[in-house]
Chains A and B, each alone.
Chain A
């Protein structure tokens, strides 16, 4: 599999580490135990298009949001995480 890193270009799978579903959002500090429990443990097992967290540890160390079809492994989009990159946009 190959992932096109927005910073480094197309790179081989071995440079990346998979984390999992990029959908769940870390609950606010006051969201309560149930919300955090859901966030930590409950994951959808998606057969089809899914957005995933990947880490380009063998390259620029950016976290990427990869849109991938888990049935075909087709990657349709790769975006940097909100905080990826060296300089803050607009800073």
Chain B
């Protein structure tokens, strides 16, 4: 389709590349713009004034600003999975084929059914949610809220997941600078020349700030020339990095700054393997905030009519983009700076209909400009604008003295003065201070290491910006320890500002303060009448400043109006708390690459690849992937596989990778004494070459962790933890060693990743081991008794550790080899074990066998159980102090009616058990009063050929043989179980000792 001609584009000037036309679509219509355009400037160049419908009233809206403060020109950018709602047309860079759609209108932007909301405006006032939809309560969810959500709102988020990549990166420097206007560039020059490492962040895609639109003369050169020269010098400095498309959005403790870099937002989609956005954490010794100032609107009736635009934004469109928002403009200003828009418009050959200046006096220069150019200067205020969706047509002006005038124009530039960008300096709960001379808030201090310069600090003149920026840059470099010369300071004149504050012009019709959230001046007056005077209440009651623009153009005007109606001064009224981020940051950027399978690290056991070859099913346990079971062809479900594995182990031999257990080497002359303090039982008397089960408490007396610890030498123990607590136990033991018991000469080393460890279990374990271990090693019961530990040589010479410990209750060894040999060991176990039918088994079989043996594990070590609850109370030494000893003796922790571990079997042998069911005494009604505990672990026991389980039951061990009721309201199951000895299998332990 042919693109429409750019009817509102100047034939020369501006920073657009006329040799690079770009076609784009807005609401299905094809347009053309140029490289260097934003979507907004391209729409302006095509004469498009109506770009959106407002949030509540669906009023027609145009483009208000030319930057990231834009409240109105929000679009859905791109399509499909990349559709991004609420994108500011004013910052979206134009690219070939860009597709954007206006928001919050149906069926079309021009004819929007919901604009009838305007007729119901009286019910949409501040607080209307609370007032209108009070009752009946059930109508709220069913009718009111869905209806309101359809009627009021912004764009639609994409339904599909984001296909793009995001990145996170760190950067370190001496000085980070926010903003590349005159102040930021001067700061970068001074700091860079001094030898400082500088990062200059600019949210625009071109550095220069207001210089790009406003020009000026610096060091006797036109601004554009000075800018080019300065950028060339900065590029020549080795440690100055200019990051465009990058917004410094937050400041964090210790000189850490957050920045979002829109790496490829200016392209239809990122090139292959490239990220769309990158979240930077910048660590800087100093920060210069040269973020400039935002021009503020004046609130009057119809101030949201398309064609009403900030004066500086109009200059940007004309000066930087060579696009004319109107043919015949009027200016409404209360300060000298607004007049620059008239000068720019005249320079571009536009008509000036009138200047409405709220001040009593204007400068002689401007008076002569008016007479020379033939436009009237009206002293007074614009009280209303007529126009509607076609844009500004007529302005009503209240003249000083009381009479009225009308002005015909198709565009209105408004300047209410400038607000320094005080966000960054206020993010650590800083409150800006009021300056009467410029009628604006300026930073009052800043987080440590940060300073504001230039317009961000209330210095609006070009010369002042350069001076403050330069001085701040030089000081920042000095503070960062850089002593080079900053050279000479760029010099320019200061323009006059001379402002007479004006916030709100009384008039008939809706006068908008917050255009994005449709908050009007009368909403603020209403809030005040209803007692919501505090700015924090005002904000929440009216939602002023709570939209995606965070009230950048509206907050100060809102509180000025509140101050006026409450009869207070603006500083007395105060500001709300400023919070980051300065611009919206995509959640995807915060996540970076940490999504989906990369959400966290994945740890693989030494046997993982081999197990995957076998078709093992893996389960996530913390970061680990562990083989859960090894299905074989023809097996119909996990239960059949697990049953086979258990039987194979109990009748022959099997092995399981247990490398995930935490492993800690404990070295030093006081190693034994140290372990005595952290375990409830004693390790100092453990013989070298022996292992012992140990139980650790928290200092509050509850069980923390368990595992076996072996003594490998007089001064060397090898401790194991549960998989889940491996890191935490290491941290806890380091705390004990370094903080609680520094007098002990002991060192800890985590060796979890250094050893591959396998449990080999079953009556044929020795037969298999003999094929693996050097034949000279004595593995007999006499030569290697139960709980013995020894280093052995494997066939081929690799050294391994053998531990004769058993979790399964079978004759068993754990063998550990350096992790790099783990996979080879597994493959050799399979070859050597083939004649004995060796069977690899997973965590399910491990669990079944431990339940059959009544061993406690994670579900019983719940953080609410004591050693005695677990049936391990006798392990608590009375001859020494240890972590948790005193608190474990508290009344409630030793009460006779505690819930303790006991075995359970269903009275109906065929019944399946499920963990989580509550234990209720027979004949009593299930409920909290009669709840005596719950089932913690269950399994189908192939050995007993029925389901069995462990439970925590009040006085359970005194009630062996009692039939109780299992109540499972979650699954709707009720059945009887018998309390029994938790050791279901080989209760005297003969098999593991054999």
- In the assembly, what is the distance between CA of A51 and CA of B314, in Å? 56
From B256, B738, B743, residue with most partner A Cβ within 10 Å: B738
With both beta carbons as reference points, the residue of chain B lying nearest to A3 in the complex is identified as B254
Within B532-588, the residues touching A (CB, 8 Å) are none
Question: Which residues of A sit under 8 angstroms from B281, Cβ to Cβ?
Answer: 12
A53 near B739 (CB under 8 angstroms)? yes
Contact of B731 among A29, A55, A72, A74 (CB under 8 A): A55
Question: Which residues of A sit under 8 angstroms from B741, Cβ to Cβ?
Answer: 83
Question: Which residues of A sit under 8 angstroms from B509, Cβ to Cβ?
Answer: none
A37 near B255 (CB under 8 angstroms)? no
B254 near A2 (CB under 8 angstroms)? yes
With both beta carbons as reference points, the residue of chain A lying nearest to B750 in the complex is identified as A61
Minimum CB–CB distance from B682 to chain A (whole Å) comes to 15
Question: Which residues of B sit under 8 angstroms from A75, Cβ to Cβ?
Answer: 254
Question: Which residues of A sit under 8 angstroms from B448, Cβ to Cβ?
Answer: 74
Contact of B699 among A32, A40, A62, A91 (CB under 8 A): A40
Minimum CB–CB distance from A18 to chain B (whole Å) comes to 11
A53 near B735 (CB under 8 angstroms)? yes
- In the assembly, what is the distance between CA of A55 and CA of B741, in Å? 16
Q: Is B886 an interface residue (CB 8 A)?
A: yes
The contact string, 1 if C-beta is below 8 Å from chain A, for chain B 883-895, is: 0011101100000
B734 near A36 (CB under 8 angstroms)? no
- In the assembly, what is the distance between CA of A84 and CA of B283, in Å? 28
Minimum CB–CB distance from B40 to chain A (whole Å) comes to 38
Contact of B253 among A1, A53, A57 (CB under 8 A): A1
Question: Which residues of B sit under 8 angstroms from A63, Cβ to Cβ?
Answer: 734-735, 738-739
Minimum CB–CB distance from B667 to chain A (whole Å) comes to 11
A33 near B735 (CB under 8 angstroms)? no
A61 near B734 (CB under 8 angstroms)? yes
A1 near B731 (CB under 8 angstroms)? no
Minimum CB–CB distance from B696 to chain A (whole Å) comes to 16
Given contact pairs A1-B256, A2-B253, A55-B734, A82 touches B742 in the complex (Cβ within 8 A):
yes
Q: Is B881 an interface residue (CB 8 A)?
A: yes
Q: Is A26 an interface residue (CB 8 A)?
A: yes
From A63, A73, A74, A75, residue with most partner B Cβ within 10 Å: A63
Within A63-86, the residues touching B (CB, 8 Å) are 63, 72-75, 80-84, 86
A73 near B731 (CB under 8 angstroms)? no
Minimum CB–CB distance from A27 to chain B (whole Å) comes to 8
Q: Is B747 an interface residue (CB 8 A)?
A: yes
- In the assembly, what is the distance between CA of A91 and CA of B670, in Å? 14
A81 near B886 (CB under 8 angstroms)? no
Within A1-51, the residues touching B (CB, 8 Å) are 1-2, 12-13, 17, 19, 22, 26, 29, 32-33, 36-37, 39-41
Question: Which residues of B sit under 8 angstroms from A55, Cβ to Cβ?
Answer: 731, 734-735
With both beta carbons as reference points, the residue of chain B lying nearest to A36 in the complex is identified as B886
Question: Which residues of A sit under 8 angstroms from B106, Cβ to Cβ?
Answer: none
- In the assembly, what is the distance between CA of A61 and CA of B730, in Å? 9
Q: Is B737 an interface residue (CB 8 A)?
A: yes
Minimum CB–CB distance from A13 to chain B (whole Å) comes to 8
Contact of A33 among B256, B881, B890 (CB under 8 A): B890
Given contact pairs A1-B254, A2-B253, A57-B727, A36 touches B738 in the complex (Cβ within 8 A):
no
Minimum CB–CB distance from B276 to chain A (whole Å) comes to 24
A33 near B889 (CB under 8 angstroms)? yes
With both beta carbons as reference points, the residue of chain B lying nearest to A32 in the complex is identified as B886
Question: Which residues of B sit under 8 angstroms from A13, Cβ to Cβ?
Answer: 253-254
A29 near B254 (CB under 8 angstroms)? no
With both beta carbons as reference points, the residue of chain A lying nearest to B700 in the complex is identified as A40
From B252, B253, B283, B730, residue with most partner A Cβ within 10 Å: B253
Q: Is B233 an interface residue (CB 8 A)?
A: no
B738 near A83 (CB under 8 angstroms)? yes
B254 near A83 (CB under 8 angstroms)? no
From B283, B727, B881, residue with most partner A Cβ within 10 Å: B881
A26 near B887 (CB under 8 angstroms)? no
B887 near A37 (CB under 8 angstroms)? yes
The contact string, 1 if C-beta is below 8 Å from chain A, for chain B 713-751, is: 000000000000001001100110111111111010000
- In the assembly, what is the distance between CA of A82 and CA of B739, in Å? 6
With both beta carbons as reference points, the residue of chain A lying nearest to B880 in the complex is identified as A29
- In the assembly, what is the distance between CA of A84 and CA of B741, in Å? 11
The contact string, 1 if C-beta is below 8 Å from chain A, for chain B 787-823, is: 0000000000000000000000000000000000000
- In the assembly, what is the distance between CA of A26 and CA of B736, in Å? 10
- In the assembly, what is the distance between CA of A50 and CA of B643, in Å? 57
- In the assembly, what is the distance between CA of A17 and CA of B728, in Å? 11
- In the assembly, what is the distance between CA of A91 and CA of B668, in Å? 12
Question: Which residues of A sit under 8 angstroms from B742, Cβ to Cβ?
Answer: 81-83
Question: Which residues of B sit under 8 angstroms from A80, Cβ to Cβ?
Answer: 738
Question: Which residues of B sit under 8 angstroms from A2, Cβ to Cβ?
Answer: 253-256, 283
With both beta carbons as reference points, the residue of chain A lying nearest to B748 in the complex is identified as A61
With both beta carbons as reference points, the residue of chain B lying nearest to A71 in the complex is identified as B429
B734 near A86 (CB under 8 angstroms)? no
- In the assembly, what is the distance between CA of A53 and CA of B736, in Å? 12
With both beta carbons as reference points, the residue of chain B lying nearest to A75 in the complex is identified as B254
The contact string, 1 if C-beta is below 8 Å from chain A, for chain B 861-905, is: 000000000000000000001000111011000000000000000
B738 near A73 (CB under 8 angstroms)? no
A1 near B252 (CB under 8 angstroms)? yes
Question: Which residues of A sit under 8 angstroms from B735, Cβ to Cβ?
Answer: 19, 53, 55, 63
Question: Which residues of A sit under 8 angstroms from B256, Cβ to Cβ?
Answer: 1-2, 12
- In the assembly, what is the distance between CA of A2 and CA of B740, in Å? 25
B253 near A40 (CB under 8 angstroms)? no
- In the assembly, what is the distance between CA of A84 and CA of B740, in Å? 11
Given contact pairs A2-B256, A29-B881, A57 touches B886 in the complex (Cβ within 8 A):
no
- In the assembly, what is the distance between CA of A62 and CA of B734, in Å? 8
- In the assembly, what is the distance between CA of A35 and CA of B452, in Å? 52
Question: Which residues of B sit under 8 angstroms from A82, Cβ to Cβ?
Answer: 738-739, 742
- In the assembly, what is the distance between CA of A73 and CA of B448, in Å? 11
- In the assembly, what is the distance between CA of A40 and CA of B256, in Å? 35
- In the assembly, what is the distance between CA of A2 and CA of B312, in Å? 40
Question: Which residues of B sit under 8 angstroms from A40, Cβ to Cβ?
Answer: 699-700, 887
B740 near A36 (CB under 8 angstroms)? no
B886 near A33 (CB under 8 angstroms)? yes
Given contact pairs A2-B254, A36-B886, A62 touches B738 in the complex (Cβ within 8 A):
yes
Question: Which residues of A sit under 8 angstroms from B885, Cβ to Cβ?
Answer: 29
Minimum CB–CB distance from B176 to chain A (whole Å) comes to 15
From B254, B428, B730, B737, residue with most partner A Cβ within 10 Å: B254
- In the assembly, what is the distance between CA of A13 and CA of B727, in Å? 18
Contact of B745 among A61, A81, A91 (CB under 8 A): A91
- In the assembly, what is the distance between CA of A91 and CA of B744, in Å? 12
With both beta carbons as reference points, the residue of chain A lying nearest to B744 in the complex is identified as A83
- In the assembly, what is the distance between CA of A37 and CA of B884, in Å? 11
Minimum CB–CB distance from A73 to chain B (whole Å) comes to 4
- In the assembly, what is the distance between CA of A55 and CA of B738, in Å? 10
Question: Which residues of A sit under 8 angstroms from B890, Cβ to Cβ?
Answer: 33
Within B185-233, the residues touching A (CB, 8 Å) are none
B739 near A83 (CB under 8 angstroms)? yes
Given contact pairs A1-B252, A2-B256, A81 touches B889 in the complex (Cβ within 8 A):
no
Contact of B740 among A26, A41, A57 (CB under 8 A): A26
Minimum CB–CB distance from A41 to chain B (whole Å) comes to 8
The contact string, 1 if C-beta is below 8 Å from chain A, for chain B 277-311, is: 00001010000000000000000000000000000
Minimum CB–CB distance from A4 to chain B (whole Å) comes to 9
Give 30 pairs: A residue, B residue, CB < 8 Å, sorted on A: A1-B252, A1-B254, A1-B256, A2-B254, A2-B255, A2-B283, A12-B170, A12-B256, A12-B283, A17-B731, A19-B735, A22-B739, A29-B885, A33-B886, A41-B700, A55-B735, A57-B727, A57-B731, A62-B738, A63-B735, A63-B738, A75-B254, A81-B738, A82-B738, A82-B742, A83-B738, A83-B741, A83-B742, A83-B743, A91-B745
Besides A1-B254, A61-B734, 9 more A-B contacts (Cβ < 8 Å) are A29-B881, A33-B889, A39-B699, A53-B735, A72-B428, A80-B738, A82-B742, A83-B738, A83-B741
Q: Which 5 A-B pairs have the closest CB atoms?
A: A83-B742, A2-B254, A82-B742, A29-B881, A83-B738
